[in-house]
Amino acid sequence: MHKGRGTGGIEPAEIEEFIRSANLPQDTGSSADARFCFGVAKLVATRVVHGESGDFSVFVSTDAIRIDEERLACDRVMMLQHGNDPITGHIWITTIGITTSLRLRIDITSEESITAGLEDAGLGNRPAVVVDWRGSSPSGRLYSTGVSNHDISHPVNFDCSTPVSEGQLKRTLDLFYETVLRTPSATTMGHKLAIWGANSGDARKGIPSSRPEERIQGRLLDSLRLSIPGLTWRAEPVTEDGRADLVGSRPTSAGGIRATVTEWILELKALADKTSTGNPVSATKIAEAIIKGVEQAIAYRDNHHALQAAVCYFDMRATDEGDAVSFADIRDLASGENISLWRWYMFRSTDAARHAKIGKLTHSQV
């Protein structure tokens, strides 16, 4: 194995066997971007085992592989997905599942050469994953609208050798909040299901959609699959205590025995002071929901034998009371049970979010 590429104490042969034989149902229900990232992640993990080194690899998604092959100077690589071909220093045009691939006859040696090569080939607006191999482990970014739109990108974690840390997962959710939930306009971007009510003015009135937690769950699941493809993320598997909202697990192998390790349980709670029909929700009901979130996270973690668990509160109330007040009744319980508590405040208008960012708004949106 290439020096400096850690495997967390697991033998390279065991990792390779897992990659080749594990049945990972990550694609089910995922967006095209998430499926593409997952395919690239599997290939990168295989190449890590083989000692891949270099600077960059670039993967461009296509749904017209034959047309691309006819118009571009490239070579077809039939078995790239098996991981036996070096991938650094090249631009690859691939189907979403990496089942058919083309290698452009372009050498890439720098970030500038990546952009220039893709734009010269007319690929600057295609979804692309750029893998940076220069660190101790590969890292990457997804450019969902192409590298020509470099301001629109999403980090992709390829490190499969160690468990996903609390900080890493929290950063992923922070980015999800900023890009998807922080304002009403963000929640409906890309014609996604609205999280606030569908009627004009519902967000400013604090009226959520029906079952906002489920809508947040669907959006978050896709984001997790995209950003942390090393884990298999599932929504609401049934347990004796009910349904866990999101579960992140990975297959593992030791001594020829394969098993599944559940790393994370995420319990989601939307805190709204109105129902989807505009009726008020009492403070007592909201407090009960906050406590129930911790209780459910504990039960689901124990049932799944998970390594870690967190409760994710998406606060849609008129007043941002802050973490100290919101978590006052549960902090000791959560701390004693090693449950992470995370909360994000969802603004009811873009103006309110902008003013809050520059410190010109009080905590109340009323």
Domain boundaries, the chain: 12-157, 166-357
Which of 208, 209, 203 has its CA nearest to residue 185? 203
Percent of the chain residues topping a pLDDT of 70: 85
pLDDT-wise least confident of 7-11, 131-135, 136-140, 229-233? 7-11
- 230-279 tens-digit pLDDT: 888 998 765 555 567 999 998 877 777 888 899 999 999 999 999 999 99
In whole angstroms, give the CA distance from residue 27 to residue 14: 23
Q: Kindly list the distances between the CA atom of residue 258 and the CA atoms of 14, 15, 152, 219, 268, in Å, as whole numbers in the listed order.
A: 10, 11, 39, 31, 30
Strands 238-239 and 74-77: unpaired
Higher-scoring residue by pLDDT: 93, 365: 93
| pLDDT given for residue 150 in this prediction | 86
In whole angstroms, give the CA distance from residue 23 to residue 127: 26
pLDDT-wise least confident of 73-87, 227-241, 332-346? 227-241
| pLDDT given for residue 258 in this prediction | 82
> Does 64 score more than 60 pLDDT?
yes
Q: What are phi and psi of 75, to 5 degrees?
A: -125, 135
Which of 254, 231, 111 has its CA nearest to residue 160? 231
Q: What integer best gives the mean pLDDT of the chain?
A: 86
**Angle (CA) 210 212 213, round 5°:** 135
In whole angstroms, give the CA distance from residue 80 to residue 351: 49
| pLDDT given for residue 188 in this prediction | 66
| pLDDT given for residue 17 in this prediction | 46
DSSP lists the bridge partners of residue 345 as 315
| pLDDT given for residue 67 in this prediction | 95
Q: Where are the alpha helices (DSSP H) in 133-183?
A: 166-176
Q: Kindly list the distances between the CA atom of residue 118 and the CA atoms of 38, 115, 151, 345, in Å, as whole numbers in the listed order.
A: 22, 5, 16, 39
pLDDT level of residue 192 (50, 70, 90 thresholds): low
Q: Is 235 exposed, middle or buried (0-12, 13-18, 19+ CB in 10 A)?
A: middle
pLDDT level of residue 16 (50, 70, 90 thresholds): very low
**Second CATH level (architecture) for the domain 166-357:** 3-Layer(aba) Sandwich (3.40)
Q: Phi-psi region for residue 89, left (φ > 0), alpha (ψ -120 to 50) or beta? A: left
pLDDT level of residue 9 (50, 70, 90 thresholds): low
| Residue entry with tokens 């103006």 | 351
pLDDT level of residue 23 (50, 70, 90 thresholds): very low
DSSP lists the bridge partners of residue 131 as 57, 140
| pLDDT given for residue 35 in this prediction | 86
| pLDDT given for residue 256 in this prediction | 75
| pLDDT given for residue 265 in this prediction | 96
- Which pair of tokens denotes residue 262? 């559940």
| pLDDT given for residue 237 in this prediction | 60
Strands, E, within the chain: which ranges? Answer: 56-61, 74-77, 90-94, 101-104, 128-132, 139-143, 154-157, 232-235, 238-239, 242-243, 246-254, 257-271, 308-315, 339-345
Angle between helices 212-227 and 32-49 (to 10 degrees): 30
Buried (b) or exposed (e) across 183-192, using 16+ Cβ within 10 A? bbebbbeeee
- Which pair of tokens denotes residue 205? 């009135």
> Does 89 score more than 80 pLDDT?
yes
Class of domain 12-157: alpha beta
Question: What's 178's DSSP letter?
Answer: I
In the predicted model, what is the mean pLDDT of residues 343-358? 88
> Does 122 score more than 90 pLDDT?
yes
Task: Name, in order, each residue with C-beta under 8 angstroms of 189's C-beta and a sequence gap of 6 or more.
Answer: 180
Higher-scoring residue by pLDDT: 166, 252: 166
In whole angstroms, give the CA distance from residue 9 to residue 7: 5
| Residue entry with tokens 């996270």 | 297
Higher-scoring residue by pLDDT: 185, 204: 204
- 273-295 tens-digit pLDDT: 999 999 999 999 999 999 999 99
According to the per-residue pLDDT averaged within each range, which of 18-32, 149-163, 322-336 is highest?
Answer: 322-336
In the predicted model, what is the mean pLDDT of residues 131-155? 90
